[in-house]
Amino acid sequence: MPSDPELEQALRRQVREALKKGQDDASITVASMRKAAEEALGLEEGFYKRNEKWKEESKRIVHEAFVCL
C-alpha cells in the first residue's frame, strides 16, 4: 500500500501529465485522474472513491492541482 504522500503525488502527477498532453479541461475530471493514479500505483479500481479518507481528499487534491497549474 502506498503512503499518503505517494497517493497524493500520484494524483498531482496525473493532472500535470494530462495538462502537458494538451487534454482539454473537460476531460480532466476527478474520476479520470483517480483512475489514472490508481493504474499508475497498481491499486484496485475505485480505491480513491471507496476509501473514506481519500474520497474527499482526492477531490480536493485534483481541484487544487488543476487550479495551480
Tell me which DSSP letter residue 28 carries: -
Q: Give the alpha-carbon dihedral of 49, 3, 16, 32, to 10 degrees.
A: -20
| pTM score | 0.91
pLDDT, tens digit, 9 for 90 and up, residues 38-64? 999 999 999 999 999 999 999 999 999
DSSP characters over 9-20: HHHHHHHHHHHH
Average pLDDT over residues 1-10: 96
Percent of the chain having pLDDT more than 90?
A: 83
